[in-house]
Structure 1
Amino acid sequence: MKINRVRYLKGPNYFAYKPMMFIEVDIEDLELRPSDTIPGFTEALIETLPGLKKHTCSLGYEGGFIERLKRGTWMGHILEHMAIELQLAAGIDVRRGKTITAKKPGIYYVTYAYKEQQSGLYSFEAAMEIAGLLLKGEKHLDSRPYVNKVAELYYKNKLGPSTEAIYEAAILSNIPVERIGEDSLLRLGTGSRQKFVQATISSQTSSLAVENSCDKQLTKEILKSCSLPVPDGEVVSTMEEIFAQSEIMGFPLVIKPLNGRQGQGVITNIKNKEQLFNVVSCLDQHVDKYILERHYEGNDYRILVVDGRLIAASLRVPPFVIGNGVDTIRDLINEENKNPLRGDGHEKAMSKIPLNHTVSCYLEKLDLTLDSIPDKGKIIQVVGNANLSTGGKAIDVTDQVHPTIRKIAVTAAKAIGLDIAGIDFICKDISKPFDKHEMAIIEINAAPGIRMHHYPSEGKSRDVGKAILDYLFKTREEASIPIISVTGTNGKTTTTRLVNYFLAKEGVTVGMTNSDGVFVDNVAIDQGDCSGPISARKILHNPTVDFAVLETARGGIVREGLAFRHCDVGIVTNVAEDHLGLDGIETFEQLVKLKRLIPEVVIENGYCVLNADDEHVAKMADYTKGEVIFTSLHQNNPYIQKAIFEKKKAWYVDHSGWIVYASNGILESVHPCNNFPITIGGAAKHNISNLLQAMAAAHTQGVPLHELTTKALAFIPDVALSKGRFNKRDMKGRTIIVDYAHNASGMEAIYDTVSGFGNKRVITVLAGPGDRKNEDITKMAYIAAEHTDLLVIKEDDDLRDRRQYELANLIQRAAIERRLKKEQTLIVLNELEAFKKAWELSKPGDLLLFFYTDFDYVTSFFQLVSKHQHQ
């Protein structure tokens, strides 16, 4: 077995709305060995991964997959379930998977859910290794090392718990969110509405407030100036200063690094000089300044404030061990760290108790070491603070906080200037009124961890992540710029350009992607075929963009999924056979399902604009949550008539040739469609269809009808506004049409448009894309042969794994087979040379139809002809 290809489908995709792994695997000779023909394999696999017994598979009930194994299934399908099970065993909640059989024997497209890329991919690699060992007859194979590595990779690379809580809240609220880089930085929202969060610091957080909170002494001074309760204390640097200050302050005392974090190096409740001496002798020599302050007896509380509101409060309990009279403190800590609720760092509800300098130093205060053996039943606190990062645990007390203490916490956060703050509070009972003699604020944290509130050891979970998200964005509309996504087989680029043109106005920045590039305010920031998710993200990430108009092609969805989880307007122009036989999309029905993804991701209360003249597109209405708006070239289209009857929105061309907008039972005549330049006097039916859909989409975004009409009348299908889409030029008595049509249905639309031009002859320049099936290329050649008098055949610069002359010869043979004589066909491989040859063979009155691939060649051709005209 071998992996041929790996893809991470990060956004909604053909298989699911959530991230999926896509792996093309070659099972080689195992194609001839389904599971029921391999002696002992099924039994050994179940023993190795017993969780497979719960897999339902396509049968829909537990044990369904085991039945499939016993009846006989192939290794591609088996690896899918193994990869899912290895993740489940590692504590990663994933369920969905699907395996598709390719046409080539032994090739399978395996897809399954994942949450983190490295662990997701390794789960499949581990599945292959396990399967390989079992096929070799390995007995009693232990899967734990594989499961442990999946877990290790997952927890090493996943988001931290605080950031993850905000991420999950955003997903549930339909607010766009994505991780940036490998750390815990999130982009929330899109375009001009986006904000950022890292851990619990937001792009709204004052950097000065963060600086203030990191300086513990400065924090105390600010709070004290507001009459908020803080411990008396001083900054000390040397041993002499520590002991001198202790004489002045008296005991008990607390010592902690001036700029420490996560409770590291904090030693509390130093009761006398002897304990102070023990502590000082083991202080971290790399810390140059400490705070020595009064110790308050009481409980350690963390109060979480967001935007001036108390959201959660926890009682924090320091980590401890209970002696048994036999084991050392080190052994007791190691045993406690085996508790399944404890994990490394922040991966689980509680962290493991560290075996580090902070623990040794605290034990030193008690005249203990890690090698001391405490008496049976004796409770030994092993760290001087209750931070979760040093092994403490949290008990939710949010509902117990007294109003006076609640007010002090909110005031403290405001005094420092923090929008999100963790207030560390010491008092005996947080449910009692404030008493300045018995309680104090000991610290304010600018990036407070929220794991303790989401996963308390005891008490109610508090959704702080949601509270932070609600502070940043009250609604999805505040977070996400409107996204208009255009898909289909033909007309995507023209429709996208029209929508962009309709939405653009003073003070509004529109970002657009299409097959020519990425544009912001109609300025190209990237060039080439930019109809995929990488280009879409360039618009969605741009902080100046107010609207995103995105051409969404098949290839990008297949490669990576969508760049967005939801769109506000989804447009489907049509669906025709194109690009079949690639990446598992083998049939027309599968292509329809792929294009249907756009209607499926339209947000509730959004709009889905569907071409009612294409039955396959019209039926997509059943799959969207958005309001459906049908468009049609025919007034009597049944979908249009039904929409009018039900007082829904629709756009169509009536019997007199006027564009009509129907809404709420009112029919409003907009303008005669033949007057709009994009329709080529009404001849370009496909462009009328595109215009209807663009008008419908723009109108949902607030563009009034009179403005749509004015703008549509000014939209000229030339190189400036609609490059490469039915660009028409008259030169030396010839008519030249340039268009990107690259499939049979697109070509038919162009020939239908020019059929009434009345030219003497039609000369066509045509190539066949190398990634199409031979039958598709043949169909294109047939259409060209039926409508042209002279066919000049070229080839693309990128042959896409074809041999030179392979496609050209195929087109020539098909054209001759259909209608043309051999002398009416000519092969000129280079695109520019083909254009020049067509020009040389033309006469005044001829129509030259250039189906181009690279528009640079078109530009060069026109420059050459223009130069000769002026000579």
Structure 2
Amino acid sequence: MYKTFCQECGPAEVPHFLSKLNQTVGITADIFTTPIRPVVRFIILNFNRQIDLLTYCLLVSLSFLKIIKLATKPSSDLDTDRAKCMWQAANERKILVKEVWFLAKPLNIFLAKLPNGKRLVFEGLPRPGGDSPNLEWMDNKGVMKIKFRRAGFPVPRGDSCFTLSKGMKIFREIRKNGGMTVVKPTLGSRSRHTRIHIKTEDEFITAFKIAKQIGPVVSVEEELRGTVFRVVLIGGKLAGVLRRDPPFVVGDGQKSVRNLVIETNSDERRQSHVFHAIPFNEEMDAALQIQNINRDSVPRFGEKIIVGTKIGRSQGGTNVDVTDEVHLENKKLFLDIAKYLKDPLIGLDFIIEDIKKPWRGQMPCGTIEINTIPFLDLHMYPFSGTPRDLSGMLWDEALRTA
């Protein structure tokens, strides 16, 4: 029996009400804590090691009292591949890692003891050298676009908004120049409740309501030309770049789209927990409609047909390592962004048509979001290309800065 899930979330489903409530509380707290934020930032930046040590001791004490559990190895069923890769890389470097469990569930909060005795406490992945001052806004797509635009880094036109009326104003401005629109929650990841290729006001209203289901603030932006590339920077250096492809098939002049998908799904790489079969669903029909074809159409020989609107692996997407193909001008742009953010771990989602050519000649292109806890396992298990142990690189940086 198959588990049903929200089609807008995909398999990585989040509780809609709790997601929206959590974001609303966070926004409200930000407003009321603005006056004391500089003090909090000063404490975090200057007493990071002491805070980690106190938190480490507190969690160990709660474990001793049986309030929480500290797991010494990842759960094969409940932990993510990101956690497993991080844990494996730590073991290889003789770093002791434990994960906090509460009510029989992992919380994605970890304790680590380095060989030199230093203790770390972190969510998802370690941040070598501690948090940067910019960490508090990096995951916010709206704030990121404003700050990047001021700094001269390419980003899509658009803005974030609370109300449909303001969103409609942004949408109409983008449509003036004939551009299509992307609508998504301002906070969140994995393309949850994201709609693309939006041309009409009715489509926009539907997309806005869908994005609002999991967050109070919605991002409305122009749809850039090209492919999504995941760029990871560790310790200010370029660590890996993946091209993330939506599900697609290539015509042979004989088979229908339907049969090409069935054939593609037979690839043994799609029979694992990493990559998945391309689903036959409304997303497929929407993607085909944009190309003026349907499931029974027969593509020409060599014709690439997109059969989904999202790039997630759970929805049939794939990825290819292209780290060695990045043009020097693009590499310089990514390194400049790392220098601007001053953060030890950055995951950029960057849209561009050809990563092998300079970005300035491919406008509009740019960063669509930052991930502060990127899925480094994507680089360890690419669909094709060179596997890269970014988790190991991250721990090496943590040891270097300890």
Pairwise same-fold verdict (TM > 0.5): yes
Residue among 403, 406, 409 paired with 2:334: 409
How far did residue 294 of structure 1 move? 1.7
C-alpha spacing 1:201/1:400, structure 2 compared with 1 (3 Å): same
Partner Cα separation in structure 2 for residue 383 and residue 279 of structure 1: 19
* 2:81 is equivalent to residue 161 of structure 1: yes
C-alpha spacing 1:354/1:366, structure 2 compared with 1 (3 Å): closer
Identify the residue that residue 301 of structure 1 maps to in structure 2. 229
Residue among 133, 141, 155 paired with 1:216: 141
Identify the residue that residue 262 of structure 1 maps to in structure 2. 190
C-alpha spacing 1:327/1:229, structure 2 compared with 1 (3 Å): closer
C-alpha spacing 1:227/1:207, structure 2 compared with 1 (3 Å): closer
Identify the residue that residue 298 of structure 2 maps to in structure 1. 376
Residue among 290, 298, 309 paired with 2:218: 290
Q: How does 1:831-842 map to 2 (within 5 A)?
A: none
Local SS of the residue matching 2:244: strand
Residue ranges of structure 2 left out of the alignment (5+ in a row)? 1-71
How far did residue 312 of structure 1 move? 0.5
C-alpha spacing 1:216/1:265, structure 2 compared with 1 (3 Å): same
* 2:261 is equivalent to residue 310 of structure 1: no
Partner Cα separation in structure 1 for residue 288 and residue 204 of structure 2: 11
Partner Cα separation in structure 1 for residue 287 and residue 295 of structure 2: 16
How far did residue 337 of structure 1 move? 5.8
Local SS of the residue matching 1:293: strand
Q: How does 1:392-407 map to 2 (within 5 A)?
A: 392-407=317-332
Letter in 2 for 1:320: F
Identify the residue that residue 467 of structure 1 maps to in structure 2. 393
Partner Cα separation in structure 2 for residue 164 and residue 431 of structure 1: 32
Partner Cα separation in structure 1 for residue 204 and residue 143 of structure 2: 27
Partner Cα separation in structure 2 for residue 177 and residue 402 of structure 1: 37
Q: Describe the superposition over 1:583-625 as per-residue Cα deviations: whole angstroms up to 9, x where unpaired.
A: xxxxxxxxxxxxxxxxxxxxxxxxxxxxxxxxxxxxxxxxxxx
Q: Describe the superposition over 1:288-336 as per-residue Cα deviations: whole angstroms up to 9, x where unpaired.
A: 432221222122211110110110011111123579549599xx58x86
Partner Cα separation in structure 2 for residue 374 and residue 268 of structure 1: 24
How far did residue 239 of structure 1 move? 4.7
How far did residue 200 of structure 1 move? 2.8
Local SS of the residue matching 1:395: strand
Partner Cα separation in structure 2 for residue 236 and residue 294 of structure 1: 14
C-alpha spacing 1:277/1:291, structure 2 compared with 1 (3 Å): closer
Identify the residue that residue 200 of structure 1 maps to in structure 2. 125
C-alpha spacing 1:429/1:448, structure 2 compared with 1 (3 Å): same
With a CA cutoff of 8 Å and minimum separation of 6, indicate the structure with the bigger relative contact order.
Answer: 2
Letter in 1 for 2:111: R
Letter in 2 for 1:470: D
Identify the residue that residue 10 of structure 1 maps to in structure 2. none
Local SS of the residue matching 1:341: helix
Partner Cα separation in structure 2 for residue 294 and residue 362 of structure 1: 22
Partner Cα separation in structure 1 for residue 190 and residue 369 of structure 2: 11
How far did residue 189 of structure 1 move? 1.9
Residue among 183, 207, 229 paired with 1:280: 207
Indicate conservation of the 8 Å contact 1:318/1:386, yes or no.
yes
Partner Cα separation in structure 1 for residue 240 and residue 110 of structure 2: 23
C-alpha spacing 1:401/1:328, structure 2 compared with 1 (3 Å): closer
Local SS of the residue matching 2:187: coil
Identify the residue that residue 391 of structure 1 maps to in structure 2. 316
How far did residue 254 of structure 1 move? 1.9
Q: Describe the superposition over 1:276-299 as per-residue Cα deviations: whole angstroms up to 9, x where unpaired.
A: 459638735514432221222122
Letter in 1 for 2:125: T
Indicate conservation of the 8 Å contact 2:182/2:195, yes or no.
yes
C-alpha spacing 1:433/1:364, structure 2 compared with 1 (3 Å): closer
Q: Describe the superposition over 1:360-394 as per-residue Cα deviations: whole angstroms up to 9, x where unpaired.
A: 367447658xxx63323486534434244543211
Partner Cα separation in structure 2 for residue 362 and residue 212 of structure 1: 34
Identify the residue that residue 187 of structure 1 maps to in structure 2. 111
C-alpha spacing 1:218/1:265, structure 2 compared with 1 (3 Å): same
Task: Calculate the TM-score normalised by the size of structure 1.
Answer: 0.32
Indicate conservation of the 8 Å contact 2:278/2:316, yes or no.
yes
How far did residue 397 of structure 1 move? 0.8
Q: How does 1:570-585 map to 2 (within 5 A)?
A: none
Partner Cα separation in structure 2 for residue 418 and residue 362 of structure 1: 38
Partner Cα separation in structure 2 for residue 443 and residue 326 of structure 1: 32
C-alpha spacing 1:327/1:392, structure 2 compared with 1 (3 Å): closer
Give the number of aligned pairs.
312
Identify the residue that residue 174 of structure 2 maps to in structure 1. 249
Identify the residue that residue 430 of structure 1 maps to in structure 2. 355
Letter in 1 for 2:77: K
Indicate conservation of the 8 Å contact 1:322/1:376, yes or no.
no
Indicate conservation of the 8 Å contact 2:138/2:371, yes or no.
yes
How far did residue 238 of structure 1 move? 4.8
Q: Describe the superposition over 1:676-722 as per-residue Cα deviations: whole angstroms up to 9, x where unpaired.
A: xxxxxxxxxxxxxxxxxxxxxxxxxxxxxxxxxxxxxxxxxxxxxxx
Partner Cα separation in structure 2 for residue 469 and residue 281 of structure 1: 40
How far did residue 415 of structure 1 move? 3.2
Indicate conservation of the 8 Å contact 1:413/1:423, yes or no.
no
Letter in 1 for 2:223: H
Residue among 225, 230, 248 paired with 1:320: 248
How far did residue 205 of structure 1 move? 4.7
Letter in 1 for 2:321: D
Residue among 356, 368, 372 paired with 1:446: 372
Indicate conservation of the 8 Å contact 1:314/1:395, yes or no.
yes
Local SS of the residue matching 1:200: coil
State which structure, 1 or 2, has the greater radius of gyration over its C-alpha atoms: 1
Local SS of the residue matching 1:196: strand
Local SS of the residue matching 1:473: helix
Local SS of the residue matching 1:156: coil
Which moves more between the two structures, 185-194 or 273-282? 273-282
Partner Cα separation in structure 2 for residue 288 and residue 391 of structure 1: 29
Indicate conservation of the 8 Å contact 1:212/1:416, yes or no.
no
Indicate conservation of the 8 Å contact 1:195/1:202, yes or no.
no
Q: How does 1:758-837 map to 2 (within 5 A)?
A: none
Q: How does 1:322-721 map to 2 (within 5 A)?
A: 324-325=255-256, 327=258, 332=261, 339-342=267-270, 348-351=273-276, 353=278, 360=282, 363-364=285-286, 367=289, 373-377=295-299, 380-435=305-360, 437-474=363-400
C-alpha spacing 1:390/1:365, structure 2 compared with 1 (3 Å): closer
What is the CA RMSD across the aligned residues, in angstroms?
Answer: 3.6
Q: Describe the superposition over 1:540-580 as per-residue Cα deviations: whole angstroms up to 9, x where unpaired.
A: xxxxxxxxxxxxxxxxxxxxxxxxxxxxxxxxxxxxxxxxx
Q: Describe the superposition over 1:232-285 as per-residue Cα deviations: whole angstroms up to 9, x where unpaired.
A: 102244554444333212222222221121122233343x32784596387355
Letter in 2 for 1:446: T
C-alpha spacing 1:311/1:391, structure 2 compared with 1 (3 Å): same
Partner Cα separation in structure 1 for residue 338 and residue 277 of structure 2: 30
How far did residue 461 of structure 1 move? 1.0
Partner Cα separation in structure 2 for residue 192 and residue 174 of structure 1: 11
Partner Cα separation in structure 2 for residue 155 and residue 229 of structure 1: 40
Partner Cα separation in structure 2 for residue 439 and residue 278 of structure 1: 25
Letter in 2 for 1:471: E
Residue ranges of structure 1 left out of the alignment (5+ in a row)? 1-114, 118-153, 479-871
Partner Cα separation in structure 1 for residue 203 and residue 326 of structure 2: 34
How far did residue 474 of structure 1 move? 2.9
Identity of matched residues, %: 24
Task: Calculate the TM-score normalised by the size of structure 2.
Answer: 0.66
